[in-house]
A and B are shown apart, each in its own frame.
Chain A
Amino acid sequence: MSELIAFQQPDQAVIERRPAIIADLAELLPEGCLITEERELVPFDTDAFVSYRRMPLAVVLPETTAQVAAVLKYCNDNAIPVIPRGAGTSLSGGAIPQEDAVVIGVSKMNRILEVDLPNRAAIVQAGVTNISISQAVDADGFFYAPDPSSQLACTIGGNIGMNSGGAHCLKYGVTTNNLMGVKMVMFDGSIVEIGGKALDAAGYDLLGLICGSEGQLGIVTEATVRLIAKPEGARPVLFGFESSVAAGACVTDIIGAGIIPVAIEFMDKPAIEICEAFAQAGYPMDVEALLIVEVEGSEAEMDAMLERIIEIARKHGVKTIKESQSATEAALIWKGRKSAFGATGRIADYICMDGTVPLGQLSHVLEKTSEIIDRYGLRVANVFHAGDGNMHPLILFDANDPEESLKAEMAGNDILKLCVDAGGCLTGEHGVGIEKRDLMRHQYSDVDLAQQMRVRAAFDPKWILNPSKVFPLDGRNGSQPGNQTVPETGKTAA
């Protein structure tokens, strides 16, 4: 299959040294932490952006921060690219390796080190899954707020890499708003600790910079995260509309009226059909668009908020209103929504876009998205976080048809450009990865990108960390693996 997205040319000199590199890595790690057999490497050749695959040179699964440091120092000294990996659930190809790279996976570092309820903080290793933090403090009445749909599998390390969001971040914010500290291994194997249980850290906001840096600034091995008291109750309510435009306008008016529910999720008819077939969530089938609005608090609070939301929805001609009557029903409603990607995968291949647009542009962008999809003769299902304008069109195609695959990628690119042109951005929570790398110039000028790349080089002077991602391959001003030159105007990093 032809590929739209290029990878860096693998460094043949590194590939030729493979046996020696493997021998050296084996010295640095205990038994069972190094994977080199081809059939065992296959599970690491891609992530959830499955259209692209590359076999890595080797995979290491360290058990301690010190082991991560030893491997990273070795790779930096020998100019070997490194691909950090959590659970491999990236939708943008953030964890896809390359032939000359060593994958450092944090999956064995999966312990919760400390739960400190009076200070509402948990210290966890990077390989801990997102959901297990909430599970660990559930009985005490707390939870960890960011809830990406892949939360059963995805790791906190990966969440930090991509600054992951989720359905409930309308109220509680994304990873960066809930991260208080990290222990991180730098390119040269040195270990730094930033932040902690205090609400803010000293000096420049390195934590904010690291969060969402897609594994290009270092490898996080431990994180201190904020715990929040669970609401007394939560109630998702379904609102069915005759058109996507009406549903979109309703979202804008709810927010505009000063009501911030904990979540507002949008599904169009194709998405409703796909999710209902999978989850039997009780979604209405006779509507063109559906909003899942979740309110939380005590019964009285939820009633008060819902009353106002219903009033607004009526103004937009809402056709169906269905409140969940039990915890089971509420869970089903969310199961349907959160399994949207998986359920879509059962009926077709798909790529998932992640642009975010200003709320006032929702209806316009939905309309234009349909036009783009029609032009390419494809199908689309829209399911997304409407409250914060983070859209997720799922473009359906047949991966066995090379022409259709190409069309899907091109349609995706057009949709992302549309989002940027509407005042939004390429990616709200999935990250740039390789998927959106070559569109970065649509959002940023060369000066903007050069500034980001200089900052990147301050953390990783040889560009060994996840080098094929985020920044367009051309115009890197000579900063490539094995090349210490930092882009223009900056001094060479000390």
Chain B
Amino acid sequence: MPANILMPALSPTMEKGNLVRWLKKEGDKVRSGDVLAEIETDKATMEVEAVDEGILAKIVVPEGTANVPVNDVIGLIAEEGEEAGEVASPQPSVAAAPSAAPTEPEPRLERAPAPASAPSHNGEAGPRLFASPLARRIAKEAGLDLAGVTGSGPHGRIVERDVKTALARPSAPAPAEEARPTSAPMSQAPAGEPSARGDMIKSNFAPGSFDEIPHDSMRRTIARRLVEASQTIPHFYLSIDCRLDALLSLREAINSVAPKDKDGAPAYKISVNDFIIKALALALIRVPDANVTWTETAMLKHHSADVGVAVAIPGGLITPIVRGAESKTLSVISNEMKDLAARARARKLKPAEYQGGSASVSNLGMVGIKNFSAIINPPQASILAVGAAEQRAVVEKGALAVATLMSVTLSTDHRAIDGALGAELLAVFKSLIENPMGMLV
């Protein structure tokens, strides 16, 4: 009896994903641990590894298929010498694990499979779909099933224009994102179908005076999460100026003694942002009531300070998380951030690396922003918006002096953290930044 390869869940909330690519062909030998296929969600690409040994007997879901439900059979692994007939007609199933007792009848999928609405999910015979490579690529990125798209190109070929039209149409097949893990009623879209609203918006501009770039799944996710955050989280904002002179000289001292490898590259180069991550983590630990997450029934008080850091990447942004930052040294935080940021840009972060956290840092100081306020990244309860470090005139003991200052603004979820508590958190943060030696011990 062949073993099923199931569509894996990359995260607890994932319901569907896109099967990007098969790395093995039908008939290929497979050993446990081999990478079989690549699966993609809105923010990450993951590899599916083989658990069993044998032969990849059948690819059930062809590569490039969008919206494959978690636990659907995507392929079959047969033992060597197993009869081909046994694997000829697979049934979608939710076999709990490939190791389920082979004699038991496989449990049926709870929700009835709907073959009519998802013809491409089972890779069975069907007319070949003619679509341009670009149309396929854009459809895949947007999680659109091309089976429902009418082609307007030569001989009915589906071209870029058709995919863009389909994505803009109210009846567009649901993109992968539609299965929303969170279901706060306030986050429901306002009345009107998205594309009808889109048409209304478009009617403000002369046709041809703009280009239409369909959203990819990251853009949809950003839009959905930020609308949800700004509509459901009662934000309030606290600003404070932090004096940076001591931190900057400490940073210089630390970086100047970094051991160098044989190529002369230093083992670390701490940035101001690394200090900020560390300071926020320590502040969250010292003000534990602010290291929380709001839920409808209870407050989650976190044991460690997991600090998210917003990273701008082509086409959007993502917030990888430095876990337990309070107990990590600056050099560890610094090197971890470099790795996370690089993999974020390559869209190779695992969901576990950007989900959760209790607070985030969003730093636009490097591009000269003086101060700003950020939108909280759910399920977190606060986000620290960091402005540029700059020399300003200050009054010290009644006289004017020059100091390097940085303005920060904490956006806080008022359901979880009240004003005085937020102020306390920020005061501890400021004190750590201004007395940075405290972060080294």
Asked if A and B bind, the verdict is no
Q: A-side interface residues toward B, CB under 8 Å?
A: none
Q: B-side interface residues toward A, CB under 8 Å?
A: none
